[in-house]
Amino acid sequence: MKTSRHSQRRRTTTSQRLFESIARHGVVWRPTILWVAFCCALPAHAQTKTTSETPTAPPRVAPEEVAALKKEELGVVQKLARDFPNSLEPIVLTGRVHYRHGRADEAMAIWKRVLERDPKRPRVHEDMGWFAMSKGQYEQAIEHWRQVLEIRPGAPGIHSGIARALMGSNRHAEAVDALKKEIEISPNSSFDWFLLGQEHRQQKQHEQAKAAYEKAIALDPNLTNAYYGLFTVCGRLGQRDEAKQHMATFKKLKAADMERLKDRNEAFNDLIDMRRNAAETLMFAGQAYLSAGRVDEAERLIIRATQLAPKNATYHLHAAAIAMQLKHPARAEKAFREVIRLAPENARGYSGLAHLYLQANQRLPLAKQLAQKAVALEPSAFHYYVLSWACGRNGDDAGAATAISRAVQLEPGNPRYRRIAEALKIRN
């Protein structure tokens, strides 16, 4: 980033002097720490709409690449366990990595040792439940998932798992009850509505089945098998025209599914999944090191995560935050721009880049535009704070006062925002 001579010569205003004073003396503001805390409050796996990571013409997968990736991921979690011997989280993660790599017995042994030390580990019980489910051990799966619900009664996905185990045990009435509980927690789960339709159809409750299938396709119009379910129950209900329409849609979607399967490269798609999972593991490790103050180690892992999952905007956001903390503005700028490119609806990319420019006293008009975009996308207190700062640096006293007042309205208990608002009133 090059310093603008125009910005250096800009007329100094009341709010501009206030923010410069704040920046020099730290009276009410610590910019890098504030931004890093705001950014890293996002979970590493936060949902962000990005483009697909799978190219249309996948190349051949080299076995040595798969082996190297597995070795890298396992090495990271094993080192994490050594570096944090008093924490169970790295051990839990090590079990999960073993499980994903096809070493289920080692994973189970690790998870059992974890539960001996701390039996109230919902994620461990959840994973062990799915392992039991994969072995057809339905009662064991149900027992593990009920343990999850004792610890976290509203945990999403657990009643759904119990329902599938009950279905496998031919306990269909109980499965319906479990699915209804899941839908109370996750009302927009199209697959659970589909399963509910299947169970009602199994019990010849055709009206209820039809309603469940219709809800499923309302949530996901491409849920192929729900149309076959509707074809079946409409036929049972004597609704022949509807049945015919649903069969036509089913055939159309099924043909499209088969075409996709024909072009599917299983080995390459597995590699994409492995990269994505490894990136999530490295992000977790990076955050652990960051919390322990080992920022250089954290940055190395998070940058590697962005290389493994280059279209995950949230990972680039974390990379930008750490680059700011380490005072690497060029790296931070590049990462923020990548966030904006990948996820233009994510306000934090714009506010982060604005924050970076304001901190460097560079590209100030652009910083104000970016802050305005962030507020338009997500009118949070923090984004109004950044906008107030940007207005002040651009000589817009009225805009600075208005924006910080809005921040105070949204977070009245935030002392930082209140002090800035009061200072602006006094200086104006």
pLDDT band at 353 (very low <50, low <70, confident <90, very high): very high
| pLDDT per residue as tens digits for the range 100-135 | 998 999 999 999 999 999 999 999 999 999 999 999
Please compute the mean of the pLDDT values over residues 332-359 and round it to a whole number: 96
pLDDT band at 90 (very low <50, low <70, confident <90, very high): very high
- Look at residue 264 in the predicted model and tell me its pLDDT: 63
| Cα dihedral across residues 194, 199, 202, 203: positive or negative | negative
Asked if the model's pLDDT at residue 343 lies above 50, the reply is: yes
Asked if the model's pLDDT at residue 363 lies above 90, the reply is: yes
Asked if the model's pLDDT at residue 46 lies above 70, the reply is: no
Q: What is the pTM of this model?
A: 0.72
Please compute the mean of the pLDDT values over residues 20-45 and round it to a whole number: 43
Which of 24, 28, 20 is closest to 419 using CA atoms? 28
Question: Distance between CA 336 and CA 349 in Å, rounded?
Answer: 5
| pLDDT per residue as tens digits for the range 379-404 | 999 999 999 999 999 999 999 999 99
Question: Which carries the bigger pLDDT value, residue 157 or residue 60?
Answer: 157
Distances (CA, A) of 180 to 158, 169, 243, 312: 12, 18, 26, 33
Question: Distance between CA 38 and CA 43 in Å, rounded?
Answer: 11
- Helix, strand, or coil here: 351? helix
| pLDDT per residue as tens digits for the range 265-280 | 666 667 888 899 999 9
Question: Distance between CA 69 and CA 66 in Å, rounded?
Answer: 5
- Look at residue 2 in the predicted model and tell me its pLDDT: 44
- Look at residue 25 in the predicted model and tell me its pLDDT: 32
- Look at residue 64 in the predicted model and tell me its pLDDT: 80
Determine whether 297 is exposed, middle or buried from the number of CB atoms within 10 Å of its CB (0-12, 13-18, 19+).
Answer: middle
- Helix, strand, or coil here: 415? helix
Q: Which pair of structure tokens corresponds to residue 17?
A: 């002097």
- Look at residue 261 in the predicted model and tell me its pLDDT: 77
Within 10 A of 258 (CB to CB), how many other CB atoms are there?
9
- Look at residue 137 in the predicted model and tell me its pLDDT: 96
Distances (CA, A) of 347 to 32, 44, 131, 353: 18, 16, 39, 10
Please compute the mean of the pLDDT values over residues 275-291 and round it to a whole number: 93
Q: What are phi and psi of 340, to 5 degrees?
A: -65, -40
pLDDT band at 284 (very low <50, low <70, confident <90, very high): very high
Within 10 A of 274 (CB to CB), how many other CB atoms are there?
19
Asked if the model's pLDDT at residue 89 lies above 50, the reply is: yes
Asked if the model's pLDDT at residue 333 lies above 60, the reply is: yes
State which amino acid sits at residue 244: K
- Look at residue 61 in the predicted model and tell me its pLDDT: 56
Q: What is the mean pLDDT of the chain?
A: 86
Helix axes 381-393, 364-377, angle to 10 degrees: 160
- Alpha helices in 190-294, H assignment, sequence order: 190-202, 206-219, 224-236, 240-262, 266-291
- Look at residue 38 in the predicted model and tell me its pLDDT: 52
Question: Distance between CA 304 and CA 101 in Å, rounded?
Answer: 20
Question: Distance between CA 179 and CA 196 in Å, rounded?
Answer: 6
Helix axes 381-393, 415-427, angle to 10 degrees: 30
- Look at residue 19 in the predicted model and tell me its pLDDT: 43
Asked if the model's pLDDT at residue 163 lies above 70, the reply is: yes
- Look at residue 326 in the predicted model and tell me its pLDDT: 92
pLDDT band at 259 (very low <50, low <70, confident <90, very high): confident
Domains recognised in the chain with CATH numbers: 5-46+317-427 (1.25.40.10), 63-267 (1.25.40.10)
Please compute the mean of the pLDDT values over residues 325-343 and round it to a whole number: 95
